[in-house]
Amino acid sequence: MSANRPIVAVYPGSFDPVTLGHEDVVRRTLRFCDRLIVGVAENATQAKGQLFEVGERLELMAEVFGAQERVECVSFSGLLVDFAREAGARFIIRGLRAVSDFDYEFQMAQMNRELWRDVETIFLTPEVGYSFLSSSLVREVASLGGDVSAAVSPPVLERLRRRLPGLG
Ligand code: PNS
């Protein structure tokens, strides 16, 4: 391994929408990565009740991460390992919030290694206050009119309010 070679990682997900938990994982990754490519999957394995189109998710991410020079947000389709390889990234970042995440994450990490021997999945735990947070909960609570202002950044909240007028 060359000491001068930049460390590039991909952080894949559905990000529907991006939450403060995701932002926390990005912040932590930038402590040891030179460049992070956040990949919005067009075909997530567990696609559940989508709220925002991929293009809208990317717009929100541009607002949230726009000031971070080392972060790039793009969408991808097909296999994650192919996306990572083409992006020149050997590391996959995933957030691990609780034991309940483990089975699914372990399976994905092993399958991705099966598909590409050289890839490494790195799990990061978010700030404990975000350990209960998920995009699907944000979608559900917001669609029922609940307050999600502690879960997402202001641009995301604004977009949720426009999409779900009952949110107030
Ligand atoms: O935020 P999510 O929905 O938990 O992210 C899941 C994601 C996007 C990482 C996963 O569905 C994925 O990698 N999809 C791309 C297709 C793929 O490579 N599937 C095989 C994974 S082992």
Q: What is the mean pLDDT of the chain?
A: 94
Q: How many CB atoms lie within 10 A of CB 76?
A: 20
Q: Write out pLDDT tens, residues 44-66.
A: 766 678 999 999 999 999 999 99
pTM: 0.95
Q: Which atom of ligand 1 is nearest to the CA of 39?
A: 8
The alpha carbon of 119 and the centre of ligand 1 are apart by a number of angstroms equal to 15
Q: Write out pLDDT tens, residues 108-162.
A: 999 999 999 999 999 999 999 999 999 999 999 999 999 999 999 999 999 999 9
The mean pLDDT of 3-13, rounded to a whole number, is 92
| DSSP secondary structure, 115-141, as one string | H-TT-EEEEEPPPGGGTT--HHHHHHH
DSSP type of residue 71: E
The alpha carbon of 168 and the centre of ligand 1 are apart by a number of angstroms equal to 33
Pairing of strands 120-124, 71-76: unpaired
The alpha carbon of 134 and the centre of ligand 1 are apart by a number of angstroms equal to 15
Query: Does 10 contact ligand 1 (Cβ within 6 A)?
Result: no
Whether residue 2 has pLDDT greater than 60: no
Q: The tokens 């990565």 sit on which residue? A: 33
Which residues are within 8 A (CB) of 40 and not within 5 positions of it... i.e. 6 or more apart? 13, 14, 15, 54, 57, 58, 61, 73, 74, 75, 76
> Residue 135 and residue 88: Cα distance in Å, rounded?
28
Structure confidence at residue 10 (pLDDT): 98
For domain 8-131, the question of CATH label 3.30.70.100 is answered with no
Structure confidence at residue 1 (pLDDT): 52
Residue closest to 93 by CA, chosen among 36, 161, 19, 164: 36
Q: Write out pLDDT tens, residues 96-111.
A: 998 889 999 999 999 9
Q: Which atom of ligand 1 is nearest to the CA of 76?
A: 15
Residue closest to 57 by CA, chosen among 141, 132, 147, 138: 138
Q: The tokens 């909960």 sit on which residue? A: 137
Q: Which residues are catalytic?
A: 22, 48, 97, 135
Q: Of all protein residues, whose CA lies closest to atom 21 belonging to ligand 1?
A: 108
Residue closest to 55 by CA, chosen among 70, 40, 38: 40
C-alpha dist (Å) from residue 97 to 22, 91, 110, 134, 153: 11, 19, 19, 9, 19
Structure confidence at residue 11 (pLDDT): 98
